[in-house]
């Protein structure tokens, strides 16, 4: 996918770890992401397995929340409950896959996940 919008609803109350919405995935070491972990929302990318942050903000992921992750060229945004939380800019990544990466223990409650192109 060249441009993407991921919409999801999650409850991480009973989960300890990180949930990463990944996009523009080239392989396991090269991708863009929005991560929910340790009371924060982090937005960035992995290049050769090294993580680089474009933005991070406090975010309590306990309880049900809706999320929207947008990757549109060099413009990246992440929303929680329709409020912009993180906003980053960088080089436009090549087209790639979109998914969710979960690392931790406990239960992740998922109501829905939907992915579509922005244009």
Q: What's the mean pLDDT when you consider all of the chain?
A: 97
- Residue among 42, 6, 53, 45 nearest 29 (CA): 45
Helices (H) and strands (E) in the chain — how many of each? 0, 10
Tell me the pTM: 0.94
Classify residue 99 by its DSSP letter.
E
Q: May I ask the CATH class of domain 4-116?
A: mainly beta
Domain boundaries, the chain: 4-116
Burial class of residue 26, CB neighbours in 10 A (0-12, 13-18, 19+): middle
Rounded to an integer, what distance in angstroms lies between the CA atom of residue 15 and that of residue 26? 28
Cα 14 to its chain centre, rounded Å, is 19
User: Could you read off the pLDDT of 2-51 as tens digits, one per residue?
Assistant: 999 999 999 999 999 999 999 999 999 999 999 999 999 999 999 999 99
Instruction: Report whether 57 contacts 80 (CB < 8 A).
Output: no
Whether the CB-CB separation of 32 and 75 falls below 8 Å is answered with no
């Amino acid at each position: 996918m060249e441009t993407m919008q991921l919409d999801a609803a999650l409850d991480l109350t009973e989960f300890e770890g990180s949930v990463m919405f990944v996009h523009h995935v080239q392989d396991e070491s090269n991708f863009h992401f929005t991560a929910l972990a340790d009371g924060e929302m982090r937005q960035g990318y992995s290049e050769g397995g090294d993580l680089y942050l474009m933005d991070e903000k406090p975010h309590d992921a306990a309880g049900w929340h809706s999320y929207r992750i947008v990757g549109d060229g060099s413009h990246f945004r992440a929303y929680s409950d329709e409020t912009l939380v993180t906003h980053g800019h960088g080089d436009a990544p090549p087209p790639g896959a979109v998914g969710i990466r979960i690392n931790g223990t406990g239960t992740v409650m998922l109501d829905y996940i939907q992915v579509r192109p922005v244009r």
